[in-house]
Amino acid sequence: MAIKLFLTDVDGVMTDGSMYYTESGDELKRFHTHDGMAFELLRKAGIKTGIVTSEDTQIVARRAAKIKADYLYQGKRDGGKLAAAQQICQELNIGLEEVAYVGDDINCFELLSAVGIAACPSNAVKAIKEIPNIILLEKKGGDGAVREFVELILNNNA
């Protein structure tokens, strides 16, 4: 079945998972430009995009706006990621089998286990790497893992 919705986690997937703080307490995140282009490639292919994360920051809101993500769900914990995906699917009138999701840690487990195509960066935690049929990407989080997954999907290799 064709993918109609692409979702991603942020920390550990779109970023390297590190938390950077300035002396004054400002938080910084490093995003990879290749992942931003991945969202454009998906848009051109007619695939909706979204970010679903347990964090809730203006940094992520700004990044989502810059890459023109169709959906942004922040602060999703304890099953909230799966619920967010189900809400988007209902709005788009699609099933979870038509969703691709990339995540890296145990708070992504439920959603990764429910979607049609699941992937994780090479540095994901062991429990995620052991999900049946998950695609283990070569790239680490923050190093273009989203782009790698998107290219697999768009080239029908996922």
Annotated binding residue 11: yes
Looking at residue 144, what DSSP letter applies?
T
Pairing, β 48-52 against β 5-8: parallel
Burial 32-53 (b: 16+ CB within 10 A, else e): bebbbebbebbbeeebbbbbbb
Annotated binding residue 9: yes
Query: CB under 8 Å to 158, separation ≥6 — which residues?
Result: 3, 100, 117, 119, 135, 149, 152
147/88 Cα distance (integer angstroms): 22
Looking at residue 150, what DSSP letter applies?
H
Would you tell me how many other CB atoms lie within 10 Å of the CB of residue 30?
11
Annotated binding site for substrate: 11
Annotated binding site: 9, 11, 104
Annotated binding site for Mg(2+): 9, 104
